[in-house]
């Protein structure tokens, strides 16, 4: 199967509907009724159709990807918590990124909602120096989920596959050493994979960069070889002669004046660059001196186990790293093993694929801004705080951390060897 069985702007074909039914029938994870639409499932199938030729391979790949996404949706409560709008999302209320609103009353000829952004004010270093990595990812999940709901509304209204046609104006955007590090280190590639392929495939398609400068071809060429099939079709570069191609997709009245169109209402709120004095800095030396150090070897995971025997207990953690690591929390029912048994377990790899994900497993960098968060336990059982370094082939990662469990006046510190002491450090 080398072609896409349904194009944007069309109802699902019988072939696509058959694939959707097969994928839905094979799902292991529960799918929330609100998210369970044929179009949402088909978006994962499109990704698979680009990569595989045989129908079985298409279905199996889509099932695996969708199961992974459903685990994250449940851990992040995307289907049960109220979705944050752009007006409520800190990435925009704090002016960390430029904001361009989705034009819900403007579609291109393929039923895709128009979304314009001016990138001249983007400063990657501001976001990296002022927000935890986990917060940055969380804010973007809220953004993509809100955008998905708008697309779902368009599909419910028209009965046709929709998405976002994203126009990114690169005029005035300047590169700096931090941006090049963001690209060359693989961080940009990771976020592109995380949002545009693994969790919200085909939601933003295409993403057209217009008014590009010549230097942009360098980072584009760096990430292109490591991106999935179809990347060049979904993320398209245009120089200043972009207008004819854009006009083929949407009328003048739906193109902002800033790009040569006739629409005076479409605006973009720029991001605001922070000064170095506003960057996050650690202030509690007592806390930093009390951190316990562990190492996660290349291609390995390391975990800290917390047994919870009472609903409502809170697990809190603080850590810094010397590089990027994966971190998440997984849950299984049952507890009560001895410390000796726990130590034995720590020498063995645990199978997180068979556990419930209760805190999303993401790649984080707690070097510029340290990580601090908490989880209120809604079930009794065993919680695993997992640090992963599977992405590194040679380099181990260092993590300095503290983990506390508390409820009321009872506060205990959980150490890396699963021993416990009375918690004396607040964070």
∠ CA 106-136-371 to the nearest 5 degrees? 165
∠ CA 56-59-65 to the nearest 5 degrees? 140
Whether residue 251 sits in one domain with residue 179: yes
120: confidence class by pLDDT, cuts 50, 70, 90: very high
Exposure b/e, 315-345, CB count within 10 A at least 16 = b: bbbbbbbebbbbbbbbbbeeeeeeeeebeeb
pLDDT of residue 180: 76
What's the token pair of residue 361? Answer: 């497993």
Residue 160 counted as domain residue? yes
335: confidence class by pLDDT, cuts 50, 70, 90: low
Residue 4 counted as domain residue? no
CA dist 290 and 274 (Å) reads 30
Instruction: Indicate the SS3 state at residue 187.
Output: helix
- DSSP-assigned letter for residue 84: P
Whether residue 204 sits in one domain with residue 171: yes
Counts for the chain of helices (H) and strands (E), in that order: 13, 17
Residue 398 counted as domain residue? yes
Concatenating the DSSP letter of every residue in 198-251 gives IISTTTEEEEEEES--GGGHHHHHHHGGGSPTTHHHHEEE--TT-HHHHHHHS-
pLDDT over 70 (residue 229): no
Residue 6 counted as domain residue? no
pLDDT of residue 339: 44
pLDDT over 80 (residue 343): no
Exposure b/e, 100-117, CB count within 10 A at least 16 = b: bbbbeebbbebbbbbbbb
Average pLDDT over residues 65-92: 97
Give the global pTM.
0.94
188-204 pLDDT, tens digit per residue, is: 889 989 999 999 999 99
Bridge partner residues of 268 (DSSP):
100
Contact 298, 389 (CB under 8 A): yes
Average pLDDT over residues 170-183: 83
Pairing of the two strands 314-321 and 164-169 = unpaired
Q: Where in the sequence is the domain holding 67, given as residue range(s)? A: 14-76
pLDDT over 80 (residue 142): yes
CA dist 45 and 24 (Å) reads 11
Whether residue 68 sits in one domain with residue 128: no
Whether residue 146 sits in one domain with residue 59: no
Whether residue 115 sits in one domain with residue 61: no
CA dist 96 and 273 (Å) reads 8
CA dist 165 and 151 (Å) reads 11
pLDDT of residue 189: 84
CA dist 285 and 218 (Å) reads 42
Contact 384, 414 (CB under 8 A): no
104: confidence class by pLDDT, cuts 50, 70, 90: very high
Helical ranges in 224-349 per DSSP H:
231-234, 243-249, 285-289, 339-346
pLDDT over 50 (residue 413): yes
The domain boundary residue, chosen from 251, 277, 303 = 277
185: confidence class by pLDDT, cuts 50, 70, 90: confident
Whether residue 211 sits in one domain with residue 163: yes
CA dist 69 and 350 (Å) reads 21
Sign of the dihedral defined by the CA atoms of residues 221, 226, 232, 235, in that order: negative
pLDDT over 60 (residue 347): no
The domain boundary residue, chosen from 217, 249, 277 = 277
Whether residue 227 sits in one domain with residue 104: yes
pLDDT over 80 (residue 349): no
CATH code at position 296: 2.60.120.680
Least confident of 98-102, 135-139, 182-186: 182-186
CA dist 408 and 126 (Å) reads 37
Q: How many domains does the chain contain in total?
A: 3
Residue 181 counted as domain residue? yes
Residue 85 counted as domain residue? no
Whether residue 266 sits in one domain with residue 298: no
What's the token pair of residue 105? Answer: 């009353």
Contact 228, 51 (CB under 8 A): yes
Residue 143 counted as domain residue? yes
Whether residue 410 sits in one domain with residue 321: yes
The domain boundary residue, chosen from 245, 277, 309 = 277
Contact 250, 114 (CB under 8 A): yes
Whether residue 242 sits in one domain with residue 325: no
Average pLDDT over residues 171-190: 82
Bridge partner residues of 315 (DSSP):
375, 405
CA dist 19 and 48 (Å) reads 11
- Is 63 buried (19+), middle (13-18) or exposed (0-12) by CB count in 10 A? buried
pLDDT of residue 348: 62
pLDDT of residue 426: 87
Element of type H or E holding 157: helix 133-158
CATH code at position 185: 3.40.525.10
Average pLDDT over residues 356-368: 96
Residue 81 counted as domain residue? no
Whether residue 102 sits in one domain with residue 127: yes
Whether residue 162 sits in one domain with residue 144: yes
Instruction: Indicate the SS3 state at residue 4.
Output: coil
């Amino acid at each position: 199967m080398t072609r896409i069985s349904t194009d944007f702007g069309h109802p699902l074909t019988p072939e696509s509907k058959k694939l959707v039914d097969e994928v839905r029938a094979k799902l292991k994870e529960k799918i929330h009724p609100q998210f369970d639409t044929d179009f949402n499932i088909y978006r994962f199938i499109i990704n698979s159709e680009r990569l595989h030729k045989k129908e079985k391979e298409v279905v199996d790949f889509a099932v695996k990807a969708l199961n992974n996404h459903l685990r994250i949706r449940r851990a992040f409560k995307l289907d049960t918590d109220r979705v944050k709008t752009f007006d409520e999302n800190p990435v925009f209320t704090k002016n960390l990124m430029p904001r361009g609103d989705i034009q819900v009353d403007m579609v291109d000829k393929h039923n895709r909602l128009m979304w314009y952004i001016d990138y001249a004010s983007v400063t990657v270093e501001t976001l990296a120096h002022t927000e935890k990595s986990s917060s940055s990812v969380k804010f973007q999940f809220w953004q993509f989920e809100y955008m998905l709901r708008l697309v779902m509304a368009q599909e419910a209204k028209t009965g046709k596959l929709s998405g976002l046609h994203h126009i990114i104006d690169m005029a005035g955007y300047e590169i700096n050493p931090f941006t090049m590090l963001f690209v060359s280190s693989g961080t940009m590639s990771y976020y592109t994979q995380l949002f545009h392929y693994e969790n919200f495939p085909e939601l933003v398609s295409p993403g057209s960069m217009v008014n590009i400068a010549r230097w942009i071809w360098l980072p584009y060429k760096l990430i292109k070889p490591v991106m999935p099939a179809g990347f060049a079709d979904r993320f398209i570069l245009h120089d200043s002669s972009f207008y004819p191609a854009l006009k083929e997709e949407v009328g003048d009245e739906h193109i902002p004046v800033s790009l040569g169109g006739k629409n005076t209402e479409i605006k973009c709120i720029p991001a605001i660059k922070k000064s170095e004095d506003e960057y996050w800095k650690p202030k509690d030396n007592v806390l930093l001196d009390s951190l316990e150090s562990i190492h996660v070897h290349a291609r390995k995971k390391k975990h800290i186990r917390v047994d919870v025997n009472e609903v409502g207990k809170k697990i809190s953690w603080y850590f810094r790293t010397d590089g990027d690591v994966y971190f998440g929390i997984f849950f299984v029912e049952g507890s009560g093993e001895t410390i000796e048994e726990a130590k034995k377990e720590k020498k063995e790899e645990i199978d997180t694929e068979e556990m419930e994900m209760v805190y999303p497993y993401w790649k984080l960098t707690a070097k510029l801004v340290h990580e601090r968060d908490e989880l209120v336990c809604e079930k009794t059982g065993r919680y695993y705080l997992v640090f992963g370094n599977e992405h590194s082939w040679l380099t181990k990662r260092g993590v300095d951390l503290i983990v506390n469990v508390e409820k009321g006046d009872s506060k205990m510190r959980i150490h890396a060897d699963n021993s416990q002491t009375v918690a004396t450090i607040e964070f």
